Amino acid sequence: MTGGEANGFKPTAVDTVVVDYVGTLIDGTEFDNSLKRGQPAIFPVGGVIKGWTEILQMMTKGAHWKVYIPSELGYGESGAGGSIPPNAALVFEITLQDIKPAITVKQ
């Protein structure tokens, strides 16, 4: 992993994050890009591939990382759609824009 590091809180597996990212295969073939869609992605940290869940919990708000995710922490033997083949390693440039903490109910 490479990239900038910001100070602050890190998300947990139950939080929701707002991220900008570009996803490519090892050969540079781009398969997803939130910047081209013109809006960041918003999703629960625990609701994505295992590699993302692990990485996001190490990032702080404002951090920009380039990460390499092995197949077993990505889509594995099944791949994803027509753009990510089986057993593909993935490369992501991720900017953690915001963290939306999970709401806890006190009993």
pLDDT value for 3? 52
Residues 93 and 106: their CA atoms lie apart, in Å, by 37
Looking at CATH, the fold of the domain delimited by 2-100 is given as Chitinase A; domain 3 (3.10.50)
pLDDT, one tens digit per residue, over 22-81 is: 999 999 999 999 999 999 999 999 999 999 999 999 999 999 999 999 999 999 999 998
pLDDT-based confidence at residue 2 (cuts at 50, 70, 90)? very low
pLDDT-based confidence at residue 102 (cuts at 50, 70, 90)? confident
Q: Can you give the residue ranges of every domain in the chain? A: 2-100
- The DSSP string of 24-71 is EETT--EEEEHHHHTS-EEEEGGGS-HHHHHHHTT--TT-EEEEEE-G
CA 96 to chain centre: 9
pTM above 0.85, yes or no: yes
Residues 20 and 92: their CA atoms lie apart, in Å, by 10
